[in-house]
Copies of this chain bind each other. A is one copy, B any other.
Amino acid sequence: MKVLTKNTDYAIRSLLTLGAARGGYLSARAISREHDIPYQFLRRLLQEMIRHDLVVSKEGASGGFKLAKDPDEIRIRELIEIFQGRVQVSECMFRRQICSNRARCVLRHEIMRIGQVFGREFDSITIGKLMRDLDAANTRSAHGCIPAAAAAGENGAIAGKERDMKNEPQRMTQA
C-alpha cells in the first residue's frame, strides 16, 4: 500500500525546492535535474499546481516557477487530493447495493474514523513544516539512509516468505 504516489512525491520535492529558492523563479529543467524527475512529467505536475494556485509561473527565457503562497499554507493533503483523488477508505463501501444488504454500513464507523485520522495527519503536514525539517536535517550531520523495509513502522513486513498476491520487489538498496 503506497500512500504517496510519484506524482505527489515529486510535487512535494518540487515545492520544497521552490520554497528554498525563496521567491526566485526556478525552471522546470532545474527542478527536474535536482530531483531526477522526468522533465515532461514534472512540467505537467507544475501546470496542475498552477491550476490549483500552489505555484505561479513566468514565461520566456529565465522564466520558471515559484510558490504562489506561504509554504505553511500548502498542505500535503491538498497535494494528495490533487494527484491521488479525495482521501476515501473504500469507494464501494457506500454504494447502494452494498449498503442495502445484510452487512450494510457495517464498517461505516471505523471507516469514518480512519478517514478523519488520515485527513488530519495530512492536513497537519505543510510544505513549510517540511522545509524546516529539511533545514534541521541539513544542519545536523548528514545521516545515512534507512532501508525501505523499516518504512512500515515497528516491525518489518508482516508477511513471511510465502508468495503474496501483492508481492513487491523488496529492494533493499543501501548506500
With A94-B147, A103-B13, A115-B153 known to touch, is A109 a contact of B133 (CB < 8 Å)? yes
**Closest Cβ neighbor of A170 among chain B residues:** B86
Looking at the assembled complex, report how far the CB atom of A116 sits from the nearest CB atom of chain B, in whole angstroms: 4
Choice from B6, B119, B153 contacting A119 with Cβ under 8 Å: B153
A151 contacts B111, CB within 8 Å? yes
When the two chains form their complex, are residues A165 and B48 in contact, meaning their CB atoms are under 8 A apart?
yes
Q: Which residues of B contact A89 (CB under 8 A)?
A: 2-4, 151
For this complex, 14 residue pairs linking A to B, each with C-beta atoms less than 8 Å apart, are: A1-B88, A2-B91, A7-B166, A9-B92, A16-B106, A34-B102, A44-B165, A52-B159, A86-B151, A99-B175, A110-B125, A112-B150, A118-B118, A119-B152
